[in-house]
């Protein structure tokens, strides 16, 4: 089955700096890669996603890049703000067959943005 | 309505009790999911329903029994749980897409404590 590795496990930055979180996946059939933000005591919220036919996607201060050959994808947050502090999870999904609908999550990155 | 709702928010139950968790969505999604999340860990998939039929069971113990009475509702029936089953139980929903993954929207979760 799919295996997703996420690094780093913790990331501390100053307000205004950029933050980068990286994930690698094992199943070349995976074709959908979402990123979720989870604040303490709250639900995971989808912040951005990318499909395998796209190399990069951007939404204001957040961007995701995908390298299908190397099987890795990254989340980039620019001009970080204290409210960006949360746990971020990457995930991969292959869709189709018996794995349909299954998201495999990375272990999470605790991002702390210091004012 | 763009929300997934879950009841109850908190549940404390003894090991001999029978209880149910409920999830509801009115986004017209035909795929619904149950996840279990332990503290500081990613969500772990338990069950997937597609068009009200169980499509994935991640080898979950039989003391957890899912039910999908209609396209908007998802239940998780609990019986004879163990203390290690204490966790946040998250429900999610998405569109059904045969060719690849779809955005999953999470409910706020039920915080379950087994005593």
Chain A residues within 8 A (CB-CB) of chain B?
A: 31-32, 34, 36, 42-46, 49, 51-52, 87, 89, 91, 93-96, 98-103, 105-108
pLDDT tens for each residue of chain B, 115 residues long:
568 999 999 999 999 899 999 999 999 999 999 999 999 899 999 999 999 999 989 999 999 999 999 999 999 999 999 999 999 999 999 988 766 678 899 999 999 999 9
Q: Cα(A73)–Cα(B7) distance, rounded to whole angstroms?
A: 35
Token pair listed for B90: 């998250």
Which of chain A's residues have a Cβ under 8 Å away from the Cβ of B55? 100-101
pLDDT of residue B2: 64
Counting one residue from A and one from B, how many pairs have CB atoms under 8 Å apart? 75
Of A46, A101, A105, the CB nearest to B55: A101
Token pair listed for B2: 């763009």
User: Do the Cβ atoms of B42 and A94 come within 8 Å?
Assistant: no
CA distance B81 to chain A (A): 23
User: Do the Cβ atoms of A31 and B100 come within 8 Å?
Assistant: yes
Token pair listed for B87: 């966790």
Residue of B nearest to A89 (CA): B42
Number of H helices, E strands in chain A: 0, 11
Largest Cα–Cα distance of chain B, in whole Å? 43
pLDDT of residue B98: 64
Q: Cα(B2)–Cα(B23) distance, rounded to whole angstroms?
A: 14
Task: Kindly list the strands in the beta sheet with B64-70, ordered across the sheet, starting from the edge strand earlier in the chain.
Answer: B4-7, B18-25, B73-79, B64-70
User: Do the Cβ atoms of B107 and A49 come within 8 Å?
Assistant: no
Q: Cα(B109)–Cα(B42) distance, rounded to whole angstroms?
A: 14
DSSP E strands, A30-108: 32-38, 45-51, 56-59, 62-67, 72-77, 86-93, 103-105
Residue A55 CB: number of other CB atoms within 10 A?
Answer: 12
Model pLDDT for residues A12-33, shown as the tens digit of each residue: 999 999 999 999 999 988 889 9
Cα-atom radius of gyration of chain A, to the nearest Å?
14
- Asked if residues A56 and A66 have their Cβ atoms less than 8 Å apart, the reply is yes
Model pLDDT for residues A55-105, shown as the tens digit of each residue: 999 999 999 999 999 999 999 999 999 999 999 999 998 765 555 668 899
Closest to B109 in 3D by CA, of B92, B87, B93, B90: B90
CA distance B90 to chain A (A): 8
- Secondary structure (3-state) at A26: coil
Residue of B nearest to A38 (CA): B42
């Amino acid at each position: 089955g799919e295996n997703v590795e996420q690094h780093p496990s913790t990331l501390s930055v100053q307000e205004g700096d950029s933050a980068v979180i990286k994930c690698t996946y094992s199943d070349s059939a995976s074709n959908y890669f979402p990123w979720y933000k989870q604040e303490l005591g709250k639900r995971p919220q989808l912040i951005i996603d990318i499909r395998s036919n796209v190399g990069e996607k951007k939404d204001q201060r957040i961007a995701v890049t995908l390298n299908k050959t190397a099987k890795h994808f990254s989340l980039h947050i620019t001009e970080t703000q204290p409210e960006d502090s949360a746990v971020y999870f990457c995930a991969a999904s292959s869709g189709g067959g018996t794995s349909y609908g299954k998201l495999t999550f990375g272990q999470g990155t605790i991002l702390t943005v210091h004012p | 309505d763009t929300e997934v709702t879950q009841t109850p928010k908190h549940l404390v139950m003894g090991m001999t009790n029978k209880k149910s968790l409920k999830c509801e969505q009115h986004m017209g999604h035909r795929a619904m999911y149950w996840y279990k999340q332990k503290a500081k860990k990613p969500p772990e998939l338990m069950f997937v329903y597609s068009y009200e039929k169980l499509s994935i069971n991640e080898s979950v113990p039989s003391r957890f029994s899912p039910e999908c009475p209609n396209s908007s509702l998802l239940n998780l029936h609990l019986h004879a749980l163990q203390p290690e089953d204490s966790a946040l139980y998250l429900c999610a929903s998405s569109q059904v897409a045969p060719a690849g993954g779809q955005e999953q929207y999470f409910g706020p979760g039920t915080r379950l404590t087994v005593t």
